[in-house]
Chains A and B, each alone.
Chain A
Amino acid sequence: MINILSSILILSGVFFYLAGSIGLLRLPDLYSRLHALTKADNLGLGLLIAGVALHSQDLLMMLKLLLIWLAVLAASATSAHLIARQARRQETGS
């Protein structure tokens, strides 16, 4: 039961990663690419971590995995913001 559930979670995580990567390659400009990449990958990583956490059966390990996800969420949101802001500054020439 846990195996099936965890496989479903991991596969949907992989699907979101794939969607994000296709978005990165196919979308026309920097802002929509960033949007696709950060949103899809953050969700994909969350699903992957949920799938892996189901396997660990150890509360401390689950907490560590959760911590990794939260750190990546904050870091990727911030770096996406910084890249977008820099791009906008270069566009407006200020």
Chain B
Amino acid sequence: MSPVSLPLFDALLLFSIVGLAWASLATTDERRSVILFIAFGLVLAVAWGRLLAPDVALAEAAIGAGLSGALLLGAVHRQPRPLSPGSTNDSRNQGATGMGVVLRWVVTLLCTALAGTLAWALLHAFSSVPHDMLPRAISGNLAASGVSNPVTAVLLNFRAYDTLLELAVLLTAVLGIFALGQANPGYQPAGPVFDSLVRWLVPVLILTSGYLLWVGAHAPGGAFQAGAILAAAGVVLRLAGRTRIGLPEGFMLRIVMAAGVGLFLLVGLTLLLLGRPFLGYPPAWAGSLILLIETAAMLSIAATLLLAFLGGRPESPAHAARTESANTTASNSGNEEQTRC
């Protein structure tokens, strides 16, 4: 793969990214802002594709645009709507006087300083060492990593410790979500058109996530993308008003939530006991161990993202069953309404 030079396309891409980011921040309507943010994420995914980073592009499209978009839309939906369209503008204008202006400029200056420092650090890193040192080190050791996709080799083998800590961060996040209390009640049951889409879309999403997990060993994909798509299947089910969205219940849910970190630690500690370095897989076993860890990580990531979308602890089974029966009656009456129309 070599980059094709498309200066006009790249310029358009760059202007769309900056323009969408600005529009998303500048608009006073929260819903519009979120929709612009989703568009921003999708264009950013295209940009990652142009930079020949399909793994990041997939993650950006699935998590950055898709699931974050769903989360933000859900949050906007639950916020009390302003009584009149003008009231949000008023509160914004009040913020723009006096202290607000000073605060905004301070934040802007700090952000610019941070961006400048990061840019300087990047340039410095590129100029102080030969820029192909890292890629050469990775491709030189790829044969011993157990996988042929360099990104997966870095994430699950060379820098496995970082990924373990990332999964621990996700587990901590899920504890925070559980502390919020019961999840919000679900949405109303979908009409016939949406329901028929859900019927075939959810199996396809589950299949796609399995494919991405498997293909991650030798092509773009892996646990994070697969987990995000698996979570998307649950989000679609929830949006369609289903009460059973694929999350296990009770103790099983806790096991799935902790599976990623748990299995990662188990593998690392077992290797330590066998006299190898922590997470230093023996090359003959590396491929299987990575697939095992990634499978557990995918389930944990999917459960975490789905619980974030629920915004709390899922309902107890007994309560869910009661809502289910109520929903069935509601959907029946909804169907009658449809036929009458």
CB distance from A16 to the nearest CB of B (A): 19
Interface of A is mostly: helix
Measured between beta carbons, the chain A residues less than 8 angstroms from B200 are: 74
- Docked Cα-Cα span, A74 to B200, in Å, equals 10
Minimal Cβ-Cβ distance residue in A for B204: A71
Minimal Cβ-Cβ distance residue in A for B337: A94
Cβ of A55 < 8 Å from any Cβ of B? Answer: no
Cβ of B317 < 8 Å from any Cβ of A? Answer: no
Measured between beta carbons, the chain A residues less than 8 angstroms from B201 are: 71, 74-75
The total of chain A residues at the interface (CB under 8 A) is: 7
Measured between beta carbons, the chain A residues less than 8 angstroms from B111 are: none
CB distance from B36 to the nearest CB of A (A): 15
Contact indicator per residue, chain B 162-204, by CB within 8 Å of chain A (1) or not (0): 0000000000000000000000000000010110010011001
Interface of B is mostly: helix
Q: Which positions 57-94 of chain A face chain B at CB distance < 8 Å?
A: 71, 74-75, 78, 81-82, 85
Measured between beta carbons, the chain A residues less than 8 angstroms from B193 are: 78, 81-82
- Docked Cα-Cα span, A71 to B204, in Å, equals 10
CB distance from B120 to the nearest CB of A (A): 40
- In the complex the two chains form, is A75's CB within 8 Å of B197's CB? yes
- Docked Cα-Cα span, A4 to B197, in Å, equals 37
Measured between beta carbons, the chain B residues less than 8 angstroms from A78 are: 193-194, 197
Q: Which residue numbers of B lie inside 8 Å of A, CB to CB? A: 191, 193-194, 197, 200-201, 204
- Report, nearest first, the 7 A-B pairs whose CB atoms are least far apart: A78-B197, A81-B193, A78-B193, A78-B194, A74-B197, A82-B194, A75-B197
